[in-house]
Amino acid sequence: MEKISVNLDGIPTEIKRTKIPLKQLILDIENPRIQYFLDTRLNDNVTQEKIKFALAEGNDQYEKLKEHIERNGGIYDPIWVAPQKDHFVVIEGNTRSFIYEELSEKYVNDGKWKSIDAYVMPHKIDRSVINFIRLEKHLFGPTPWDAYEKARELYRLHTNEDYSLKRLEQLTKLKAGDIRNNIQAYMDMEEQYLPKYNKPSERLKFSYFVEFRKNKDLKRLVKEGKLSLLEFCDWVGEGKFRRGEDIRKLSHVLKDEQSRQALIDDNFQAALDQLEQKNPAAKSKLFEKIEDVAEGLEGLPFGELNEIKTGLQPAKLDALKKLHYVVKNLLKDIGTTT
Amino acid sequence: MAGNRHQFILGLVIKKMREGGATISAVDGAYAGLFGEKIPLPPTILRHRPDAVGVKQDGRICIGEAKTESDIANNRIYEQLHDFATIELNGKICEVIVGIPKSSEDVFNRSLKRVGLQGNDNIHVLCVPDELIND
């Protein structure tokens, strides 16, 4: 087993190169190449067999690739896998893994088709590294993704994983305009799958949905089962929100039981009124900033703090003194002392 | 992914039918999302055979149709949509989901208007952005 150190998405990563028996491989359900098949399947049951079917049927180059690997007697560019308990999920090279399986059935006595050359990633791997490998290998690789899969993956990274257009531009080498068009096309498609309400004024606003998908706190609440997409769609359809910005504050409302109830019984504004009793930042931009300042000061990095202490940052010290002076005078006016 | 435009659009129509709560019971042709499984061919409804048929929980029949640019120019499809959107099956008027390329939306809407089907609550049009369709 050979250990190699490589940079993946700028992160120095130690990987191993080894041969892995086919029976230890798990084909990746998140493989962008098969997402059209999975999106349009007739039932919810997804098996490894169905993934294999999609890999072969969904790739016009499948037969050519198989013939090429068979004639060559194997692959020369290892697949990429991530460990998962006793198995390995194939991050890149799903089609080639399946071709090996087919060839191992054709040449039952030939050991070379029973295992496949692979780069093994560490146990704890950042999702961004996996995204990086997929994009690097397939957006422009020998068998690039189809239009639908490309647009879907760009949309997914932008909306679900908060990749900025700039970052996608750097990763994919596509022009920002092309990326935007792809994402927009997929959004236009997705919008048509959302629940619709009868009156035009009650139609689900897609920008709300995008805000919803981008918000990390809301994503966490969904994961914890405290919020569902359908519930959210209903609230939007019932006109509980006034603008997309409301969605950014939704998680604060949902975390407070009384505010949540006010949202259900009335609307988002009523929920904010309720929340304001406990958290003034809910409705006031000034108090929102005060919260940010307090949080920022508490988390001031040691190096920066040390520079202020040792007199290397006099302007910062002046800013802190000014803040202290203003707050002290205000509290005095109010009649409260700390 | 299916290379054929018609089959590609049909896949997205079937997705919409499923997300609308229909269980797919019949599909015409070599549909990719079957993963090699067998499923019955849709029955002829009045004068035409739909691309896909599903049933909702309340028993309402949902019919899926995929149309490409060349289909949209053909008057026959409007007769077909009229049949599907007006027939009562299982005691309810059928729901029809038609998938078309987005670039054909205007032509399609004009034709729907001409045959008196525009605004029909039983017909839902799914416009597939052309950027998503492989050529």
Instruction: Say what the pLDDT of residue B1 is.
Output: 44
Whole-model pTM: value is 0.72
Q: Which residues of B touch A41 (CB under 8 A)?
A: 33, 35
* Residue of A37, A186, A189 with shortest CB distance to B33: A37
Q: Which residues of A touch B39 (CB under 8 A)?
A: 42
Strand partners, B93: B88
Q: What is the 3-state secondary structure (H, E, C) of chain B?
A: CCCCHHHHHHHHHHHHHHHCCCEEEEECCCCHHHCCCCCCCCCCECCECCCEEEECCCCCEEEEEECCHHHHCCCHHHHHHHHHHHCEECCEECEEEEEEEHHHHHHHHHHHHHCCCCCCCCEEEEEECHHHCCC
ipTM of the modeled complex = 0.87
Distance from CA of A133 to the nearest CA of B (A): 21
Outline where chain A has alpha helix (H).
35-39, 48-57, 62-72, 94-106, 127-138, 147-159, 165-172, 176-191, 206-214, 216-223, 229-237, 244-255, 257-265, 268-276, 285-298, 302-309, 314-334
Question: Which residue out of A41, A95, A146 would a mutagenesis test of the B interface target, given it has the greatest number of B Cβ atoms within 10 Å?
Answer: A41
Query: Which is more confidently placed, B17 or A282?
Result: B17
Distance from CA of B105 to the nearest CA of A (A): 14
Instruction: Say what the pLDDT of residue A24 is.
Output: 96
CB contact under 8 A, A185 and B12: no
* Cα–Cα distance, A267 to A242 (Å, whole number): 9
Tell me the range of A87-96, B70-79, B111-120 where mean pLDDT is highest: A87-96
Query: Which domains, from first to last, does chain B contain?
Result: 4-132 (3.40.1350)
Distance from CA of B115 to the nearest CA of A (A): 23
Closest residue in chain B to residue A152, using alpha carbons only: B132
For A100-138, the pLDDT digits (tens) are 999 999 999 999 999 999 999 998 888 889 999 988 877
Sheet holding A79-84, edge to edge: A2-8, A11-21, A115-120, A79-84, A87-92, A25-26
* Cα–Cα distance, A242 to A201 (Å, whole number): 12
CB contact under 8 A, B132 and A181: no
Mean pLDDT of B121-130: 92
Closest residue in chain B to residue A192, using alpha carbons only: B126
CB contact under 8 A, B132 and A42: no
Query: Which is more confidently placed, A201 or A304?
Result: A304
Q: Is the pLDDT of residue A223 over 70?
A: yes
Q: Which residues of A touch B2 (CB under 8 A)?
A: 36, 57-58
For A162-205, the pLDDT digits (tens) are 899 999 998 888 889 889 989 988 888 887 777 665 554 555 56
Cβ-contact A240, A207 below 8 angstroms: no
Q: Is the pLDDT of residue B34 over 70?
A: yes
* Cα–Cα distance, A104 to A102 (Å, whole number): 5
For A46-99, the pLDDT digits (tens) are 888 889 888 888 777 889 999 999 999 999 999 999 999 899 999 999 999 999
Tell me if residue A7 falls in helix, strand or coil.
strand
> Which amino acid would we find at residue A219?
K
